[in-house]
Amino acid sequence: MRLKVLTVLCVLLLQGLASAKDIVKEPGGKTIAVILDCSSCKDPKKGKSCETGVEQGYLGGAPCGKCLLDSNYGTRIPYAYDIHFMGRLVDESGKPLGGRFVRIFLPNTWTVRTRTGDDGTFRLMLGATIERKGGPVTVDLGNRTMKKDSKAQFYAMYMMPETYKPCESSK
């Protein structure tokens, strides 16, 4: 029994780490950007007490969130494809969170927002920033977990260039 519990905890921890940073690639394989999720805990080992998708928080122990927008202010991420981000917002037990907002912030001051469907699914779309080379790129962000009783107005993610400046306070 203990082995099963330990296995489940390890899988949940790895899923949380995997969703902390997603890579956005164009069809040829070149990296366009990274999508970052911040956590409320500086130490990710605190587990269930950490909330992801926060506006101000931490990623790998370093400050993360709106401070990234300040540090990378004005950075334009060039991409020649429309980008469709898809995912699902669920609570800690895996049940869908319908009617919640999901936002992606970009350092050039753009913000894209949508509301989740009853099944927790969301879709965010960005248009190409340079001359189009083809059809849309779809990025599956998988499940994102938000506490059922969260007071946050939305689940926040940050789209940054592959190489971005850390928050000023972490230098």
pLDDT digits (tens, 9 = 90+) for 12-70: 333 333 346 899 999 999 999 999 999 999 987 776 788 999 999 999 899 999 999 99
DSSP state, residue 148: T
pLDDT of 124 strictly over 90:
yes
Considering the domain boundaries, does residue 168 fall inside one?
no
Query: Is residue 141, in this structure, part of any structural domain at all?
Result: yes
29 domain-assigned: yes
Q: What integer best gives the mean pLDDT of the chain? A: 87
Checking if the pLDDT of 115 tops 90, the result is yes
Domain count across the chain: 1
Q: How far is CA 161 from the centre of its chain?
A: 14
Residues of the chain with pLDDT > 70, as a percent, come to 86
Determine contact, residues 4/10, Cβ cutoff 8 Å: no
Residue numbers of the domain that contains 112: 2-163
* Global confidence as pTM: 0.84
Is residue 169 situated within a structural domain? no
17: Cβ contacts below 8 Å, ≥ 6 apart: 44
Task: Report pLDDT for 20.
Answer: 66
Mean pLDDT of 71-99: 97
